[in-house]
Amino acid sequence: MPKSVWLNGQMMELESATTSVADHAHLYGDGLFEGIRIYGRKVFKLDEHLRRLYHGIRYLGYEMAIGIDELRGIVLDVCRESEIESGYIRLNVTRGTGLGLDPKNINRTPNVMVMVSSLSLYPPEAYELGLGVVTTSFRVIPADALDPRVKCIGRYASNILAKQEANRAGAGEGLMLNHLGHVAECTGDNLFLVHGKLIRTPHPSSGILQGITRDSVIDLARGAGYQVEESVLTPFDIYTADEAFLTGTAAEVIPMVTLDSRKIGCGTPGEVTRTLMGLFRAHTATGVPF
């Protein structure tokens, strides 16, 4: 598939795209990003992703000259020029360019990138058989250090360490707790548990990124008649669940069948999980056409 990049107003091929070594995200992780899916020449949940991005821009105090409607048009134009049917958009905004931690001493014109490419997070068989997950030793960053609702590039260093730990254990994913020992999220996914007819997911105050796919699945589940509860959870709740599944833009909806080598329920993808996987796949047709 075609792979293209729009960077600060210029279109170029992905392989030839470059950015300054003094970009503040490159130097300090001082940047924001969104991962957005394309299904059938439609951008899925584009407006929701853009709203989250601009909330982060305001929170971090970036001097962004491009408005949300203009950036929306740019994203759709890049998809159109890429002639892509289905794929993955990576949208980056960084504070600006210059050496030094203090923003007042750098060029604070944000660097904006729209990349159209592809991403496959898990192998196809994982959606049929489910993922084995391990609890990692790395905790999510607490909200008094950096609000987890901000999809900041720098915050993902701990997620990468947790993913490496899961890899060393031969697991498909790593579960991250917060500083109180409550369940937060996996390294790149939100978590859902099924207890009887009740679906539970960690409350945003637990330190999770409040995912776009997470919110979509909550709406779909409630629309299908399920009761969904956001609550404080511990590993006990996972060990005793009937089913579990993960959600994310790249992951979509994927079953989780073990935690720390303990079976969840029967150790196979459950009925509720499969139902929501089907509902979500149908929902992906509702994106913004380009």
Q: What is the pLDDT of residues 57-94, one digit of tens each?
A: 999 999 999 999 999 999 999 999 998 999 999 999 99
Same domain for 147 and 48? no
Q: Catalytic: 197?
A: no
- Residue 142 and residue 202 share a domain: yes
Q: What is the rounded average pLDDT for all residues in the chain?
A: 96
86 and 162, same domain (yes or no):
no
Q: Quick check: 36 and 19 in contact, CB under 8 A?
A: no
Strand-pairing partners, residue 89, are 36, 116
Q: Domain of residue 98: give its range.
A: 4-117
Number of domains in the chain: 2
Confidence label for 1 from pLDDT (cuts 50, 70 and 90): low
Residues 237 and 187 in one domain: yes
The pLDDT, as a whole number, for residue 120 is 83
Residue 101 has pLDDT above 80, yes or no: yes
Residue 2's pLDDT band (boundaries 50, 70, 90)?
Answer: low
Looking at residue 83, its pLDDT comes to 87
- Are 152 and 273 members of one domain? yes
Q: Are residues 194 and 84 in the same domain?
A: no
Contact 161, 167 (CB under 8 A): no
Domain boundary residue, one of 117, 151, 170: 117
Residue 271 has pLDDT above 60, yes or no: yes
Which of these is catalytic: 3, 42, 104, 151? 151
Tens digits of per-residue pLDDT, 106-128?
A: 999 999 999 999 888 899 999 99
Separation of alpha carbons 76 and 27, rounded Å: 29
Sign of CA dihedral 72, 118, 283, 163: negative
* 261: exposed, middle or buried (Cβ count in 10 Å: 0-12, 13-18, 19+): exposed
Q: Looking at the chain, which runs of residues are DSSP E strands?
A: 4-7, 10-13, 31-38, 42-43, 87-94, 111-117, 131-135, 173-177, 183-186, 190-195, 198-202, 227-231, 243-248, 252-259, 262-263, 288-289
Same domain membership, residue 95 and residue 13:
yes
Residues 139 and 240 in one domain: yes
Give residue-wise pLDDT tens across range 152-171. Answer: 999 999 999 999 999 999 99
The crossing angle, in degrees rounded to 10, of helices 46-60 and 68-82 is 130
Inter-residue contact 152 to 35 (CB < 8 Å) = no
For residue 172, which of 55, 259, 265, 58 has the smallest C-alpha distance? Answer: 259
Residues 39/287, Cβ–Cβ less than 8 Å: yes
Question: Mean pLDDT over residues 242-271, rounded?
Answer: 97
Q: Does residue 74 share a domain with residue 40? A: yes
Q: What is the pTM of this model?
A: 0.94
Query: Do 54 and 27 fall within a single domain?
Result: yes
From 117, 141, 171, give the residue that closes a domain.
117
- Assign residue 42 the CATH number of its domain: 3.30.470.10
Which residues sit opposite 11 in a β-bridge? 6
Question: Residues 107, 224: one domain?
Answer: no
| Residue where one domain finishes, among candidates 60, 94, 117 | 117
169 and 61, same domain (yes or no): no
Residue 85 CA neighbour count, 13 Å, CB half = 1
